[in-house]
Amino acid sequence: MFFSKAGKAAVEWARGTKVPYKEFALTLEKIEDLSGKKKIDELAQFFTKVLDFSPDDLTACVYMSVNQLGPSYEGLELGVAENSLIKAVAKATGRQESTIKTDLRAKGDLGTVAQQSRSKQRMISTPKALTVPTVFKKLTEIAKLSGVSAMNKKVDAISGLLIACEGIEARFLVRMLAGKMRIGLGEQSVLSALGYAFTLSSLAKNEKKVSGEKLDSLKDANVKRVKTAYCECPNYDRLIEVALTEGVEALVEKCKLSPGIPLKPMLAHPTKGIDEIMRRFRDQTMTCEWKYDGERGQIHKREDGQIFIYSRNQENNTTKYPDIIEKISTCIGEGVESFIVDAEVVAIDESGMILPFQVLSTRKRKNVTDDNGVKVGVFLFDLLYFNGEPLVREPLRKRRELLRSNFKKIEGSFYFATSVDTNDTDEINAFFDEAVQNKCEGLMIKTLDTEATYEISRRSKSWLKMKKDYVDGVGDTLDLVVMGAYIGNGKRTGVYGGYLLGCYNPATEEYETPIYYQFDPTLKPDDIFAPHLVFEVKCADITISPRHKAASGLSEDGKGISLRFPRFLRIRDDKNAEDATSSEQVLEMYKNQELSANQKIEKEEDEDNDEVEEEEKEDIDELNKTNTSEGSSKENPAKTEVKEENKNESPKKPSPKKTEKKSRAKSSPVKKADQKKASVASIFSSSKTAKKEEMELKKETVSPNKKRQSPSTSDSEDSNNEDSGKKRQPAKKRSRVIVDSDSD
Ligand SMILES: Nc1ncnc2c1ncn2[C@@H]1O[C@H](COP(=O)(O)OP(=O)(O)OP(=O)(O)O)[C@@H](O)[C@H]1O
Ligand SMILES: [Mg+2]
Ligand SMILES: [Mg+2]
């Protein structure tokens, strides 16, 4: 019998044996401290060694690197609630839960706490070394536990695993279980590392020595192969199997789109009007389609007859729509064996009239037996795969022809998206109005012939969206991650009074923060959440704010962007935190808005007569003016409480037009914006009350500065004493979140 201090053992890994979990954990530890491409190189080195020593373990290693237990569309999720993890750590280390919580508050990361707790522990014997496949298998078992005492069983299983962990292993095991690795390594980096590793391993096998530019170009070619294959076939099991058996060169040919495997949908760019559309699609043939406001539905039929419906997020929604599955055969033409169609699923009434999105959102999400009282219509707009052949590289005109000739409109169930092929601005304008009258959000405008392929997972410039609410506003709504919340007071006692929201920066794979959340310390929320819940928010405009921290690297002076008069629209169940609006998108919206504001000023100066029609715009301009000066206010930053700004909704004070134009032009952050690349973190007040307040505030005219008390400052002082460091996982439909349904 001997005593050993955990965490000191050297890693033993012989060729032909299983990959030691410690080797994996040490790799992650290194990656945590590296930046940019070095992260990819480090992971590639590890994968290369796996390919050499234990190729059968590569799939498990890759899944663990992206913190998944299988293809995302299979939906096996690891995320274990923090409280259960604390229990498991306590159980495994013999420490009190309360002590662990105290440590957690100090360190802000349960993984580090688990590691330290394990290192302090003296053990009777060194546990048998864990391997990647055993940990992967155990994690899968844990994720699959269900039923009454599932949580207790999970705690037991996790503590069992933790007991077998040494030092650094515990840190990453706990982080994986918590659903966040915190090493800034996203899917794209893992795919690149895989491409590098296949290159290096094949060179080594063939005893070839290549370096410099030549090596880089070989790596790049393989990264492209891996990424193309993964785009069409997002399944690592299949991808790695093909690469191992047939070589990386076979990937693109062998990992094609196939029904039953969802793909990431093509996305659209927001625009604010016909001018922009005409500019972007100058000499292209294009089509305008109604933009339905429902839920994206990718419908797959395999050759064996099985049908699946996937969400925007590749979630399997098949059991949500048994009514669609039942009726789909009626809309399929003769000789159709297999397909993937892209469509919008929308709530409709008995007569086939389109109903608002809110009606659809009342439909049960899983295992529905009938239409659940919410009748839906499917509006088909694209065909991506047909009878054994992917069509994504064909132009839209051809895809649409095949769609229309092989599927049928079925009244009350299946329709083709209403469209008109035109370049005529008057016609487009009329069609837009018609779409809006028919309860659509606006139009989708798409290229038909040139640059008209289906770009999987891309936000493409070949699809433009033009929405009714945003023709004069910022172009689109934002989908932001709930990072924290402020406990409400006054009218909002018992509910949250405001939220701290953030966008996602895929380049750093962070939510704009030096740790994981980044915000001005005076904006510290009462409760901090793990990135999970996504809110769709609309706002009057986007401005520079000294209060909201910008992403490092994107901003030169540390200033961020914030939202003015943000309003909650809905919870985006169909988006993960990483699908939130990106920093880059926010910046783009900001710049576009400023661009068109300037154009508007010029125009207004030309057309001084249209005072009456301008009335509504004036309101917005008035907001802009107030906002801009607030946003860049330096004299009194502490009073620029965003939470309050939102509460104040839209204070209006009529002002002479000329002065208004001048002052806005002067204080417009447009020029500054050119050097500023920033990201948003903003708070807004939840909306039912906000709407009411908005009405009240419209009646009175109050100086914005006077209204600003600092509830969030005092709140955050309180929260300093309490457990402000903790991260909670808000339930998707948390009851304290007020959902506004009248904002459309
Ligand atoms: N005719 C159509 N063609 C394509 N998409 C359509 C059409 N009608 C409705 N849609 C829906 O519009 C969506 C694109 O616009 P929307 O603003 O709703 O995007 P989103 O889901 O909020 O995502 P993001 O804001 O990230 O683009 C598509 O994903 C699709 O669900
Ligand atoms: Mg939508
Ligand atoms: Mg959107």
Looking up tokens 């808005």 gives 593
Q: Which ligand is nearest to the CA of 467?
A: 1
Q: Is 575 close to ligand 1, i.e. is its CB under 6 Å away?
A: no
d(CA 419, CA 287): 7
445 has pLDDT over 80: yes
Secondary structure (DSSP) of 509-528: TBBS-SSSB---GGG--SEE
Taking residues 450-465, report their average pLDDT.
95
Among residues 567, 562, 532, 517, the alpha carbon closest in space to that of 681 is found at 562
688 has pLDDT over 90: no
599 has pLDDT over 80: no
d(CA 722, CA 714): 13
CB 52 within 8 A of CB 204: yes
Pocket test for ligand 1, best of 271, 295, 296 (most atoms within 8 A of CB): 296
**Ligand 1 atom 12, closest CA:** 291
Give the model confidence (pLDDT) of 70-110 as tens digits: 998 888 888 788 999 999 999 999 999 999 999 999 988 99
Backbone angles phi, psi at 110, to 5 degrees: -65, -30
d(CA 242, CA 233): 12
Q: Which residue would you say has higher pLDDT here, 271 or 513? A: 271
Catalytic residue among 219, 264, 291, 643: 291
Cβ neighbours of 655 (radius 10 Å):
14
pLDDT of residue 24: 98
Taking residues 167-192, report their average pLDDT.
91
> Which atom of ligand 1 lies nearest, measured to the CA of 290?
1
Q: Which ligand is nearest to the CA of 573?
A: 1
661 has pLDDT over 70: no
721 has pLDDT over 80: no
How many angstroms separate the Cα of 7 from the Cα of each of 119, 127, 129, 654? 6, 11, 11, 69
User: Quick one: pLDDT band at residue 689, thresholds 50, 70, 90?
Assistant: very low
Ligand 3 centroid to Cα of residue 267, in Å, is 10
Q: Report the CATH architecture of 4-178.
A: Orthogonal Bundle (1.10)
Tokens of 143: 């994720």
Q: Strands 4-5 and 376-386: what pairing? A: unpaired
d(CA 292, CA 309): 18
Backbone angles phi, psi at 589, to 5 degrees: -65, -40
Q: Is 267 close to ligand 1, i.e. is its CB under 6 Å away?
A: yes
Looking up tokens 């959340």 gives 517
Give the model confidence (pLDDT) of 621-654 as tens digits: 333 332 222 222 222 222 223 333 333 333 333 3
Residue type, 4: S
pLDDT of residue 595: 66
114-127 as b/e: b if 16+ CB within 10 A: bbbbbbeeeeeeee
pLDDT of residue 472: 55
Active site residue 291: yes
pLDDT of residue 600: 55
Secondary structure (DSSP) of 307-328: EEEE-TT--B-GGG-HHHHHHH
How many angstroms separate the Cα of 243 from the Cα of each of 54, 187, 189, 250, 543? 15, 18, 18, 7, 48
Q: Is 439 close to ligand 1, i.e. is its CB under 6 Å away?
A: no
Backbone angles phi, psi at 196, to 5 degrees: -60, -45
152 has pLDDT over 90: yes
CB 199 within 8 A of CB 226: no
Mean pLDDT over each residue of the chain, to the nearest integer: 78
Ligand 2 centroid to Cα of residue 293, in Å, is 5
Q: Is 268 close to ligand 1, i.e. is its CB under 6 Å away?
A: yes
Taking residues 49-65, report their average pLDDT.
98
pLDDT of residue 589: 83
Highest mean pLDDT among 25-39, 274-288, 396-410: 396-410
Ligand 2 centroid to Cα of residue 2, in Å, is 63
User: Quick one: pLDDT band at residue 47, thresholds 50, 70, 90?
Assistant: very high
Taking residues 210-230, report their average pLDDT.
96
Give the model confidence (pLDDT) of 419-433 as tens digits: 999 999 999 999 999
Ligand 3 centroid to Cα of residue 507, in Å, is 20
pLDDT of residue 250: 97
Pocket test for ligand 1, best of 264, 287, 291, 448 (most atoms within 8 A of CB): 291
Q: Is 269 close to ligand 1, i.e. is its CB under 6 Å away?
A: no
Q: Is 580 close to ligand 1, i.e. is its CB under 6 Å away?
A: no
d(CA 617, CA 623): 10
Looking up tokens 């083709």 gives 416
Q: Is 344 close to ligand 1, i.e. is its CB under 6 Å away?
A: yes
d(CA 312, CA 298): 8
Q: Strands 459-467 and 267-271: what pairing? A: parallel
Pick the CATH number of 267-470 from 3.40.50.11860, 3.30.470.30, 3.40.50.11540, 3.20.20.60: 3.30.470.30
Pocket test for ligand 1, best of 379, 441, 465, 539 (most atoms within 8 A of CB): 465
Taking residues 598-616, report their average pLDDT.
47
**Ligand 1 atom 20, closest CA:** 267
d(CA 252, CA 241): 13
Q: Which ligand is nearest to the CA of 575?
A: 1
Ligand 2 centroid to Cα of residue 296, in Å, is 7
Percent with pLDDT over 90 in the chain: 53
Instruction: Name the strands in the sheet holding 459-467, side by side, starting at the edge strand that comes first in the sequence.
Output: 267-271, 459-467, 442-447, 286-291, 419-420
User: Quick one: pLDDT band at residue 552, thresholds 50, 70, 90?
Assistant: very low
690 has pLDDT over 70: no
d(CA 395, CA 451): 7
For residue 401, what is the enclosing H or E element?
helix 396-406
Strand-pair partners of 443 = 290, 466
- The residues, any chain, with a CB within 8 Å of residue 721's CB and separated by 6 or more, are none
Pocket test for ligand 1, best of 263, 344, 582 (most atoms within 8 A of CB): 344
Percent with pLDDT over 70 in the chain: 73
How many angstroms separate the Cα of 28 from the Cα of each of 14, 433, 726? 20, 54, 24
pLDDT of residue 735: 24
Backbone angles phi, psi at 286, to 5 degrees: -145, 165
Topology (CATH level 3) of domain 478-728: OB fold (Dihydrolipoamide Acetyltransferase, E2P) (2.40.50)
Ligand 1 centroid to Cα of residue 468, in Å, is 13
CA angle 190, 194, 199 (to 5 degrees): 150
> Which atom of ligand 1 lies nearest, measured to the CA of 467?
17
User: Quick one: pLDDT band at residue 523, thresholds 50, 70, 90?
Assistant: low
Domain boundaries, the chain: 4-178, 187-254, 267-470, 478-728
Q: What is the end-to-end Cα distance of the chain in Å, rounded?
A: 71
163 has pLDDT over 50: yes
Among residues 191, 194, 213, the alpha carbon closest in space to that of 202 is found at 194
How many angstroms separate the Cα of 148 from the Cα of each of 143, 151, 152? 14, 8, 9
Q: Is 444 close to ligand 1, i.e. is its CB under 6 Å away?
A: yes
pLDDT of residue 601: 54
**Can you state the angle between helices 21-33 and 37-53, rounded to 10 degrees?**
170
d(CA 86, CA 98): 9
pLDDT of residue 449: 98
pLDDT of residue 515: 32
Looking up tokens 């006077």 gives 706
For residue 107, what is the enclosing H or E element?
helix 97-107
The DSSP symbol for 555 reads B
Ligand 3 centroid to Cα of residue 682, in Å, is 17
d(CA 737, CA 198): 47
Strand-pair partners of 464 = 269, 445
Tokens of 542: 């986007």
d(CA 145, CA 141): 6
To the nearest 10°, report the CA torsion of 607, 612, 615, 617. Answer: -40
Tokens of 241: 């199997």
Taking residues 545-553, report their average pLDDT.
52
d(CA 324, CA 279): 39
pLDDT of residue 78: 80
495 has pLDDT over 60: yes
CB 652 within 8 A of CB 565: no
